[in-house]
Structure 1
Amino acid sequence: MTTCSCHHPSRRRALGLAALAALSAGGLLAACGDQAAQQAAIAPVEIDRGTSCELDGMLLADYPGPKAQVHYAGQDRPSFFCDTVEFFNVLLAGEQVRAVRAAYVQDMGQAQWDAPQGHWIDAKGAFYVVGSKRHGSMGPTIASFAQRADADKFAGEYGGKVLAFAEVKPDMVDLSGGALHDTRM
């Protein structure tokens, strides 16, 4: 009996980084020997009052700040995240071995911070502000923008550093203690 090498602990981090690289390159990650296929055009799905977070079950519509969604291969509906820190934490995790077909975040240059709806943009082409004073559902968050000028303006007003998708690193998206910042739990 042969075991797929992608389930070996030493391969998990490499596959997680490969999933992120495949998303950055606009391709589809094929794990365990499958061939890579081209990313299909997948439209973002709008959240509603019942849309919950993949990680903690929180209702996205109840919280401020940018949201995210990931469309995985073999999954009909996207996985939603109530915060971009959770989104990046999952994508950058060494355990991430699911094939990512598309990922979207909200353009906070267009969406209202306190009740963001719509304005979904391709996550890999967005600009991110890390370290601002603005909070999302889990406390400090990473603001996402379609335009560099909007990200620069936000950073000028609320602090933080503007980064491209590939510049966001695992140590920037630590989830430990996130609940300590949530005053609604």
Structure 2
Amino acid sequence: MTCSCITRRRALGMAAFTALATSSLLAGCGDKAAEQQSLAPVEIDRSTSCELDGMLLADYPGPKAQIHYAGQEKPSFFCDTIELFNTLLAGEQVRAVRAVYVQDMGKADWNEPKGHWIDAKTAVYVLGSKRHGSMGPTIASFAQEADAAKFAGEHGGKVLRFADIKLDMVDLSGGALHDTRM
């Protein structure tokens, strides 16, 4: 009789453990799916504002950007890629970055960019073109190197990869440095 009680207790314990482990695994899968979904690019709307200066993104031309930080439910948006790179490259940046997106200007309308979000780390950029974004001179972002080269041919600038962009290239005084009317 003693043996069957121990066996029954073990069986009940194992069943409880299995149920708990299964529910934990399933919850973990759900969390991962929710986490992956939360890392997907988020479309801007008329009320989406810039993390740094509060400007409404939809009111200005040029590529926009977003950073998904660990522990932050919604992404931080930037009205200009210069602001994005300045934030990422600044020594003060200590928050863990989960994902970064920019707009593919090979597909998006420069004057009213919507959608066409791409991974910022795999994008190709054009620095120094004549096209301006919300803050003046900007860095155009593209999914395809051919689109970046075509843009540089039409508007000037140098084609670069994500890792080629350095802090001294993304001065936030941007347009003020180039505006002769000031």
Quick check: TM above 0.5? yes
Gaps of 5+ in 1: 1-39
Aligned-partner SS, 2:130: coil
* Distance of 1:124 and 1:159 partners within structure 2: 22
Check if 1:77 corresponds to 2:74: yes
Q: How does 1:48-59 map to 2 (within 5 A)?
A: 48-59=45-56
Query: What code does the residue aligned with 1:80 have?
Result: F
Check if 1:89 corresponds to 2:91: no
Deviation at 1:88, TM superposition (A): 0.2
Which structure's CA Rg is the greater one? 2
Query: What code does the residue aligned with 1:66 have?
Result: P
TM-score by length of 1: 0.75
Which residue number in structure 1 is paired with residue 148 of structure 2? 151
Deviations 1:53-107 (A, max 9, x none): 0000000000000000000001000000000000000000000000000000000
**Residue in structure 2 matching 1:142, options 139, 143, 165:** 139
Which residue number in structure 2 is paired with residue 7 of structure 1? none
Aligned residues: 143
Higher helix share: 2
**Residue in structure 1 matching 2:168, options 166, 171, 180:** 171
Which residue number in structure 1 is paired with residue 128 of structure 2? 131
**Residue in structure 2 matching 1:103, options 90, 96, 100:** 100
Deviation at 1:178, TM superposition (A): 3.6
What is the CA RMSD across the aligned residues, in angstroms?
1.4
| Sequence identity percentage | 82
Aligned-partner SS, 1:116: coil
> What stretches of structure 1 move > 3 A for 4+ residues in a row?
177-182
Higher normalized contact order (CA 8 Å, seq sep 6+, divided by chain length): 1
Gaps of 5+ in 2: 1-34
* Distance of 2:134 and 2:106 partners within structure 1: 18
Deviation at 1:176, TM superposition (A): 1.9
* Distance of 2:174 and 2:119 partners within structure 1: 28
* Distance of 1:166 and 1:180 partners within structure 2: 24
